[in-house]
Amino acid sequence: MIAAGGSYVSERFSVEDWALDELDRVTFERCAFDEVDLTEAVLTGCRFDECDLSRVKLSSAVLTRCALLRCTIRKSVFFNAQLDDCKLTGTTFDDCDLRPLTVTGGDWSFVVARGAKLGGVSLAGVKLRDADLSDADLTRCDLRGADLAGAQLRQAALKGADLRGADLSNVALNELDLTGVRLDLAQAALVAMSYGAIVEP
């Protein structure tokens, strides 16, 4: 049983059943998790720092104000998970099941999610500054008001995505297929200028 407020350093957790458990303010530093079941678990204020999560089940889990910093997450399942105001700075997702996923706020700066399947997920208002979303499926994603400054979106599928109000500064817009993408007028001008057009009032 993981005690509230506990701290774990360089420990390995393998084939653990934490389904339905409540983890409160627990800190894990440089820990490894392999086949840990957190289905429907409730995590509040927990911190994972430079941890390795492999084949972890987070289906229907609720994470609130949690931090996963510089973690590597492989072949893990987030089906129907809920992330509220979570910080994932520098974390890498590799071959994870991320749909459906509910995300409310949070900081995903420098996240690496190449090829991630995020179609239909709402990332509205999420900070995705300098995130690597190359080759990701972002079709029908709600990215309104997201901070995508400096994000890598090369060959990402964006059809039907809503980018209105998102910060697209330092994004290589001329490398993107924006067919069917919803933009506001200021963003449309940025796209035109990225192709060398002169935009005048």
- Residue 171 confidence class, pLDDT cut points 50, 70, 90: very high
Q: How many CA atoms lie within 13 A of 108 on its CB side?
A: 24
Sign of CA dihedral 70, 152, 94, 142: positive
User: What is the pLDDT at residue 190?
Assistant: 87
Residue 201 pLDDT > 80: no
User: What is the pLDDT at residue 141?
Assistant: 97
User: What is the pLDDT at residue 3?
Assistant: 81
Residue 46 pLDDT > 90: yes
Residue 196 pLDDT > 90: no
Residue 33 pLDDT > 80: yes
Residue 21 pLDDT > 90: yes
Query: Nearest-CA neighbor of 82 among 51, 61, 55?
Result: 61
Sign of CA dihedral 117, 28, 18, 67: negative
Q: What is the mean pLDDT of residues 39-49?
A: 98
- Residue 175 confidence class, pLDDT cut points 50, 70, 90: confident
The pLDDT tens digits of the residues spanning 112-141 come to: 999 999 999 999 999 999 999 999 999 999
Q: How many CA atoms lie within 13 A of 14 on its CB side?
A: 2
CA dist., res. 183 & res. 102, Å (int): 23
Higher-confidence residue of 61 and 194: namely 61
Give the C-alpha distances (Å, rounded to integers) separating 68 from 6, 83, 161.
Answer: 16, 11, 26
Q: Got the DSSP string for 9-64?
A: ES-EEES-B-TT-EEES-EEES-EEES-B-TT-EEES-EEES-EEES-B-TT-EEE
Contact 135, 112 (CB under 8 A): no
Q: Sketch out the chain's domains with CATH numbers.
A: 1-102 (2.160.20.80), 108-194 (2.160.20.80)
CA dist., res. 100 & res. 164, Å (int): 22
